[in-house]
Amino acid sequence: MRNGTAAKFRKDLIILLVLSVAYLALSWSVTNSYYQLILTLVPIWAAFGVSWNILSGYGGQLSFGHASFFGIGGYAVTLALAYWNLTPWLGIPFGMIVGGVAAVIIGTPTFRLRGHYFALSMLAYPLAILYFLQYFGFQEMSLAMHREAPAAYLEFSDPRFYTIVAVGLLIMAVLVCMLVENSRFGLALLAVRQNELAAEAAGIDSKTWKMRALIVSGMIAAAAGGLYACVQLVVTPDSVFGMLVSAQPVVLTLFGGVASLWGPVIGAAFLVPLSKFLDAYAGNVLPGIQGVVYGAAVIIIILAAPDGLYWTLRDRFFKKPAVLPIPVASKPPPVVTSSVSAGTPLMKVAGLSKSFGGLRAVSNVSFEIAEGEILGIIGPNGAGKTTLFNLLNGVLPANEGSATLAGESMLGKKVHQVCRMGVGRTFQVVRSFPRLPLIDNVIVGAYGAGLSDQDAADAAIHALHRTGLADIAGVEAGSLTNKQLRLMELARALAGRPRLLLLDETLAGLGREECDDILDVLKRLREEGMTIGIIEHTMHAMLRIADRFVVLDHGAVLASGPPRTVVEDRTVIEAYLGKKWLAKQDA
């Protein structure tokens, strides 16, 4: 568990216990077996929603095919009972294992895709499995009735016991989700969801975390599917692998609140009884009307509360101003010791080139950054500055050349691996996690560097102090100003305790005074011994801060040296201002 989340964890745990006890008390008083069935189905669908929420809500990997795992659980329990006479008490854990394995098999090829392509590919799996089951003759499987010792086979004549088991399942699912949410796991997922590239640049191995999320999610979904089969007594490919099954957790979670612990639970608590009551009462009067009313209800809620009921209600009634105290680190900042003494080159770039087809975006670029200096990389638009950074931190592979950090090659590594070598990076467009407090936005960077929970928290607090943001550490990132967001991103990079910072247009879009504030922070960092490479357009700001300039034009190094020399260089003036300007000056 992460530091600072213990209070939230405890609060959620108490809510979970109170709700569970209240729910069980309510269900114990219900004797009508149909209402009891609804009370059983609510926690099962909620658990399925929770499982979807881990992958798609927190992780942002939209899955339209979660029925794969639900159905695998359902069929594993049913087939194990039919062929091995394995009691569902063991069949459900068995189904969870199968679900976890299926997650690896499904995830391995599918995570090569992103966004809509991922979502649509996920859709294909349950439909494919559905036809396989039909082909193998498992169209209609019933869970055999055990007249002897039914409870040993998860069969109860009193339907209230099914509700108890279902609530137990939901409690487990919610606990898993709480552990995810309050650990680096959840934060890594949130980071990946917001911006996979930025997360990678902060050192997070997104593919591994996504796969872990899919496995956890698949196992919970399989457990829900297994219990569902026991309650429904009959499984058909359509009832567990069908399109509507895949849609169910999506609808429940969107309704209740995406990426919130209680979202799927709220969704299930409202929508499952609603659909059942509509089936029972409206459907009997006018068959088919239930679907129309249900659809209309979902549309109205989603229009009125696009983020889901949980977030809308929270924003309206429970939004608290930040009252978090200024965090204090448990340890003094570690002394950054460098193996290279000041003045010696930290990063060496030699002959680096990158072509996109016929366009040489970066052409035979060589330069060095010395320990403790600020190197300004300048050049007109399209000069190849950002492409150069992308080559250096692993976003793009280079065609030729070398780049080393303290003697170790930076090329041929993944983004998060470069980050772990000690290279921090910020982006032209700030990527924040708006629903998280500032400090959590920064901690992501510390986790990326592989720090332990306590060290990560300390590193984040130090980074906030160094950037002057410590007094607003508890404020949600969504309410920060542009300057604060720029500093937040800088702090995130610092929290990983980098040896080298690569800043991509950190001053873009800021006013003069705001610029000054950030320049002050950068100067302070240099005094503390930080090495910085910075891309910038605004020449006057760069003149005030950079120790040396490297000027790029058309992908190649045009000039380099101390700022004053470089700005008086005729080729540089020509590249920036054109030949006309040069002629005018000469005259």
Q: How far is the CB of 280 from another protein (least distance, A)?
A: 5
Q: How far apart are CA 210 and CA 118, in angstroms?
A: 12
Nearer to another protein, 34 or 84 (CB): 34
Query: Beta strands 345-356 and 359-370: pairing type?
Result: antiparallel
Helix (H) or strand (E) holding 433: none
Nearer to another protein, 130 or 222 (CB): 130
Nearer to another protein, 136 or 318 (CB): 136
Q: How far is the CB of 308 from another protein (least distance, A)?
A: 25
- Are 18 and 137 within 8 A, CB to CB? no
Q: How many CB atoms are closer than 10 A to CB 233?
A: 13
Nearer to another protein, 98 or 143 (CB): 143
Q: How far is the CB of 300 from another protein (least distance, A)?
A: 23
Nearer to another protein, 33 or 409 (CB): 33
Query: Beta strands 141-142 and 234-235: pairing type?
Result: antiparallel
Beta bridge partner(s), residue 549: 376, 561
Q: How many CB atoms are closer than 10 A to CB 151?
A: 13
Q: How far is the CB of 83 from another protein (least distance, A)?
A: 16
Q: How far apart are CA 491 and CA 424, in angstroms?
A: 10
Q: How far is the CB of 282 from another protein (least distance, A)?
A: 10
The two tokens of residue 550 are 């490297």
Q: How far apart are CA 393 and CA 397, in angstroms?
A: 9
The two tokens of residue 474 are 């508890």
Query: Beta strands 400-405 and 345-356: pairing type?
Result: antiparallel
- Chain residues binding another protein by CB under 8 A are 32-37, 131, 134-135, 137, 139-140, 142-145, 157, 232-234, 236, 238-239, 242, 244, 276, 279-280, 283-284, 287-288
Q: How far is the CB of 294 from another protein (least distance, A)?
A: 12
Among the listed residues 318, 212, 218, the one whose alpha carbon sits nearest the alpha carbon of residue 262: 318
* Strand boundaries in 388-475, DSSP class E: 400-405, 408-409, 423-425
Nearer to another protein, 232 or 387 (CB): 232
Nearer to another protein, 17 or 233 (CB): 233
Nearer to another protein, 148 or 527 (CB): 148
- Are 349 and 403 within 8 A, CB to CB? yes
Q: How far is the CB of 154 from another protein (least distance, A)?
A: 14
Q: What is the dihedral of CA 251, 256, 259, 264, to 10 degrees?
A: -70
- Are 28 and 479 within 8 A, CB to CB? no
